[in-house]
Amino acid sequence: PSFTDASVMRADELKGVLLSLLAAVMHALGLILTRLKLRHPQPIAMPTLHMMTASLYLLPLALILHPKDLYFISQPFAVFSIIWLAVPGTALAYLCYYKLLNDHPAVYISLINYILPVFKTILGLCFLHETLTLNFLVAFMLILSGIICPGIPINFSPFDAGSDASGQVVST
Protein backbone atom coordinates (compact mmCIF):
# COMPACT_ATOMS: atom_id res chain seq x y z
CA PRO A 1 0.00 0.00 0.00
CA SER A 2 1.05 3.55 -0.61
CA PHE A 3 1.17 6.28 2.00
CA THR A 4 -2.17 7.66 0.84
CA ASP A 5 -4.10 4.47 1.59
CA ALA A 6 -1.99 3.28 4.54
CA SER A 7 -5.06 2.92 6.74
CA VAL A 8 -6.45 0.19 4.46
CA MET A 9 -4.73 -3.16 4.75
CA ARG A 10 -5.69 -6.16 2.65
CA ALA A 11 -6.35 -9.49 4.33
CA ASP A 12 -3.17 -11.11 3.01
CA GLU A 13 -1.09 -8.15 4.22
CA LEU A 14 -2.70 -8.37 7.64
CA LYS A 15 -1.97 -12.09 7.71
CA GLY A 16 1.68 -11.36 6.88
CA VAL A 17 1.95 -8.75 9.63
CA LEU A 18 0.34 -11.07 12.19
CA LEU A 19 2.59 -13.96 11.19
CA SER A 20 5.65 -11.71 11.50
CA LEU A 21 4.55 -10.74 14.99
CA LEU A 22 3.96 -14.40 15.80
CA ALA A 23 7.46 -15.21 14.54
CA ALA A 24 8.95 -12.56 16.83
CA VAL A 25 6.99 -13.88 19.81
CA MET A 26 8.04 -17.47 19.06
CA HIS A 27 11.65 -16.32 18.69
CA ALA A 28 11.61 -14.66 22.09
CA LEU A 29 9.74 -17.57 23.68
CA GLY A 30 12.21 -20.08 22.25
CA LEU A 31 15.19 -18.17 23.62
CA ILE A 32 13.55 -17.78 27.04
CA LEU A 33 12.65 -21.47 27.27
CA THR A 34 16.10 -22.52 26.14
CA ARG A 35 17.68 -20.26 28.74
CA LEU A 36 15.40 -21.67 31.46
CA LYS A 37 16.01 -25.31 30.56
CA LEU A 38 19.76 -25.02 30.02
CA ARG A 39 21.43 -23.20 32.89
CA HIS A 40 24.81 -22.70 31.19
CA PRO A 41 24.32 -23.52 27.52
CA GLN A 42 27.12 -23.69 25.00
CA PRO A 43 27.02 -20.74 22.61
CA ILE A 44 25.94 -22.96 19.71
CA ALA A 45 23.09 -24.56 21.72
CA MET A 46 20.83 -21.50 21.67
CA PRO A 47 20.65 -20.98 17.89
CA THR A 48 20.59 -24.73 17.21
CA LEU A 49 17.58 -25.31 19.44
CA HIS A 50 16.00 -22.15 18.13
CA MET A 51 16.26 -23.22 14.49
CA MET A 52 15.03 -26.72 15.28
CA THR A 53 11.97 -25.44 17.13
CA ALA A 54 11.30 -22.82 14.46
CA SER A 55 11.28 -25.57 11.84
CA LEU A 56 8.88 -27.62 13.94
CA TYR A 57 6.57 -24.58 14.28
CA LEU A 58 6.71 -23.60 10.62
CA LEU A 59 6.07 -26.95 8.98
CA PRO A 60 2.55 -27.47 10.39
CA LEU A 61 1.80 -23.79 9.84
CA ALA A 62 2.82 -24.10 6.18
CA LEU A 63 0.66 -27.20 5.80
CA ILE A 64 -2.32 -25.35 7.24
CA LEU A 65 -1.93 -21.99 5.47
CA HIS A 66 -0.57 -23.09 2.08
CA PRO A 67 -1.46 -26.72 1.42
CA LYS A 68 -1.64 -26.18 -2.36
CA ASP A 69 1.87 -24.71 -2.47
CA LEU A 70 3.46 -27.81 -0.95
CA TYR A 71 3.18 -30.01 -4.06
CA PHE A 72 6.98 -29.78 -4.36
CA ILE A 73 7.37 -32.34 -1.55
CA SER A 74 6.62 -35.02 -4.14
CA GLN A 75 9.51 -33.76 -6.28
CA PRO A 76 12.83 -35.40 -5.22
CA PHE A 77 14.94 -32.58 -6.65
CA ALA A 78 12.96 -29.97 -4.70
CA VAL A 79 13.39 -31.91 -1.46
CA PHE A 80 17.12 -32.29 -2.16
CA SER A 81 17.36 -28.53 -2.82
CA ILE A 82 15.71 -27.70 0.50
CA ILE A 83 17.98 -30.09 2.39
CA TRP A 84 21.01 -28.69 0.56
CA LEU A 85 20.04 -25.15 1.57
CA ALA A 86 19.34 -26.21 5.15
CA VAL A 87 22.43 -28.25 5.94
CA PRO A 88 25.44 -26.60 4.26
CA GLY A 89 23.81 -23.25 3.61
CA THR A 90 22.51 -22.65 7.10
CA ALA A 91 23.73 -25.22 9.62
CA LEU A 92 27.38 -25.26 8.56
CA ALA A 93 27.40 -21.50 8.15
CA TYR A 94 26.18 -21.09 11.73
CA LEU A 95 28.75 -23.57 13.00
CA CYS A 96 31.51 -21.59 11.29
CA TYR A 97 30.08 -18.32 12.57
CA TYR A 98 29.99 -19.50 16.19
CA LYS A 99 33.45 -21.05 15.91
CA LEU A 100 34.76 -17.68 14.71
CA LEU A 101 32.81 -15.94 17.46
CA ASN A 102 34.43 -18.22 20.01
CA ASP A 103 37.96 -17.53 18.67
CA HIS A 104 37.80 -13.82 17.79
CA PRO A 105 36.27 -10.63 19.22
CA ALA A 106 32.60 -10.14 18.44
CA VAL A 107 33.24 -6.66 17.05
CA TYR A 108 35.26 -8.07 14.16
CA ILE A 109 32.97 -11.06 13.56
CA SER A 110 29.93 -8.78 13.29
CA LEU A 111 31.58 -7.10 10.30
CA ILE A 112 30.85 -10.26 8.28
CA ASN A 113 27.23 -9.12 8.06
CA TYR A 114 28.30 -6.06 6.10
CA ILE A 115 30.25 -7.96 3.46
CA LEU A 116 27.48 -10.47 2.70
CA PRO A 117 25.48 -8.13 0.40
CA VAL A 118 28.66 -7.48 -1.58
CA PHE A 119 29.25 -11.19 -2.15
CA LYS A 120 25.59 -11.73 -3.00
CA THR A 121 25.73 -8.94 -5.56
CA ILE A 122 28.95 -10.32 -7.06
CA LEU A 123 27.31 -13.76 -7.34
CA GLY A 124 24.33 -12.08 -9.03
CA LEU A 125 26.69 -10.42 -11.49
CA CYS A 126 28.43 -13.72 -12.26
CA PHE A 127 25.53 -16.17 -12.40
CA LEU A 128 22.43 -14.09 -13.06
CA HIS A 129 24.13 -11.63 -15.43
CA GLU A 130 22.93 -8.60 -13.49
CA THR A 131 24.38 -5.22 -14.46
CA LEU A 132 27.06 -3.42 -12.49
CA THR A 133 25.85 0.01 -11.41
CA LEU A 134 27.48 3.06 -9.95
CA ASN A 135 25.34 2.61 -6.83
CA PHE A 136 26.90 -0.81 -6.25
CA LEU A 137 30.43 0.54 -6.64
CA VAL A 138 29.77 3.40 -4.20
CA ALA A 139 28.11 1.04 -1.73
CA PHE A 140 30.99 -1.43 -2.09
CA MET A 141 33.53 1.29 -1.31
CA LEU A 142 31.55 2.44 1.74
CA ILE A 143 31.18 -1.12 3.03
CA LEU A 144 34.85 -1.85 2.44
CA SER A 145 35.91 1.29 4.28
CA GLY A 146 33.55 0.39 7.12
CA ILE A 147 35.18 -3.02 7.41
CA ILE A 148 38.76 -1.77 7.21
CA CYS A 149 38.42 1.21 9.56
CA PRO A 150 37.69 -0.75 12.77
CA GLY A 151 40.91 -2.73 12.25
CA ILE A 152 43.10 0.38 12.14
CA PRO A 153 44.69 0.93 15.54
CA ILE A 154 44.23 4.43 16.88
CA ASN A 155 46.77 5.53 19.44
CA PHE A 156 46.01 9.21 19.33
CA SER A 157 44.53 11.12 22.19
CA PRO A 158 44.10 14.89 22.07
CA PHE A 159 45.33 14.98 25.67
CA ASP A 160 48.62 13.21 24.91
CA ALA A 161 51.69 15.24 24.07
CA GLY A 162 52.32 12.82 21.20
CA SER A 163 53.55 9.32 20.53
CA ASP A 164 56.30 7.66 18.60
CA ALA A 165 55.94 4.86 16.04
CA SER A 166 55.62 2.20 18.75
CA GLY A 167 52.71 4.03 20.40
CA GLN A 168 54.71 5.16 23.43
CA VAL A 169 53.78 8.62 24.70
CA VAL A 170 56.48 11.16 24.12
CA SER A 171 56.44 14.24 26.29
CA THR A 172 57.59 17.57 24.97
Q: What pLDDT digit, counting tens, does each position of 2-14 carry?
A: 545 555 667 777 8
| Per-residue pLDDT band at 1 (split at 50, 70, 90) | very low
Q: Which helix (H) or strand (E) holds 82?
A: helix 76-86
| Per-residue pLDDT band at 60 (split at 50, 70, 90) | confident
* pLDDT for 154: 61
Residue 162 pLDDT exceeds 60? no
Whether 30 and 50 have beta carbons less than 8 Å apart is answered as yes
Report the alpha-carbon distance of residue 109 to residue 97 in Å, rounded: 8
* pLDDT for 157: 55
Cα-Cα end-to-end distance for the chain: 65
Residue 165 pLDDT exceeds 70? no
* pLDDT for 43: 67
Q: What pLDDT digit, counting tens, does each position of 142-159 carry?
A: 888 887 776 666 665 555
Task: Give the number of other CB atoms < 10 A from CB of residue 30.
Answer: 19
* pLDDT for 170: 53
* pLDDT for 75: 80
Q: What pLDDT digit, counting tens, does each position of 73-119 carry?
A: 778 887 888 788 877 777 787 778 878 888 888 777 777 777 888 88
* pLDDT for 167: 52
* pLDDT for 94: 77
Report the alpha-carbon distance of residue 28 to residue 12 in Å, rounded: 24
